Chains A and B, each alone.
Chain A
């Protein structure tokens, strides 16, 4: 399976600021995804990061709040913009399908 590295692993941010999370895969993959895991809950898909085109967002998530980049087949970023305490979650990057459905270790974000 592919190995996914995410940075930062955790951060504490002030409300109103933005944080960019990086996701690096050790192999070229067709599809990359971003998920959110709110405290004590399951994972919810935010968007599909498409190489060479705009990300595709799931219901309830918008580009202005969660802009995504996918400059090549091994890298993507997710920005959490204008943060509020409700954005405190674990954000996870995933890839599929060539190497299975693999996840990074996540970014634990706390907004104060």
Chain B
């Protein structure tokens, strides 16, 4: 169910540092995972995805790691820039009757200081 009044976890880094954002997912049957970036006043923007048959996937400046044993995802951002400041969400989904439906993690606020 939903919780009211929670504050999102925060991560503050200096420009140029590497950032690591973590996410624990809930469903061991989930087979597809997405990281989203949400800037103020905007909808979630796709960053990178990974399927459950992989444990690592790299994009431009971003890497996603998946540990199915402990149901954990991480997003690594290399050389973090002020434009990376946003809220980051992980999302999971699986097939069957839940095909297409995303379950979101709580989110992390990333602040990058120049």
Q: Show the binding face of A for B, using Cβ within 8 Å.
A: 1, 4, 6, 30-31, 33, 35, 38, 40-45, 48, 60, 92, 94, 96-97, 100-106, 108
| Interface SS, B side | loop
B59 to chain A, nearest CB (A): 14
Q: How far is the CA of A42 from the CA of B102 in the complex (A)?
A: 12
Interface size on B, residues (CB 8 A): 28
- Assuming the contacts A40-B7, A92-B44, A106-B42, asked whether A33 and B2 have C-beta atoms less than 8 A apart, the reply is no
- Chain A interface mostly: strand
- A32 shortest CB reach to chain B, Å: 9
Q: How far is the CA of A43 from the CA of B8 in the complex (A)?
A: 13
Residue of A nearest to B89 (CB): A42
* Max count, chain A CB within 10 A of own CB: residue among B43, B89, B105, B106: B43
Does B104 contact A101, Cβ atoms closer than 8 Å?
A: no
Contacts of A30 in B (CB 8 A): 100
Q: Within the assembled complex, what's the spacing in Å between the Cα atoms of A30 and B101? A: 12
**Chain A CB within 10 Å — which of B2, B7, B36, B105 has the most?**
B2
20 CB contacts below 8 A, A to B, read A6-B43, A30-B100, A31-B99, A31-B100, A33-B100, A41-B2, A41-B6, A43-B44, A44-B104, A45-B102, A94-B102, A97-B99, A97-B100, A100-B46, A101-B46, A101-B102, A103-B44, A103-B45, A105-B42, A106-B42
In the complex, A31 Cα to B104 Cα: how many Å?
18
How far is A35 from B44 in the complex, measured between Cα atoms in Å? Answer: 11
Q: Are A42 and B104 in contact (CB under 8 A)?
A: yes
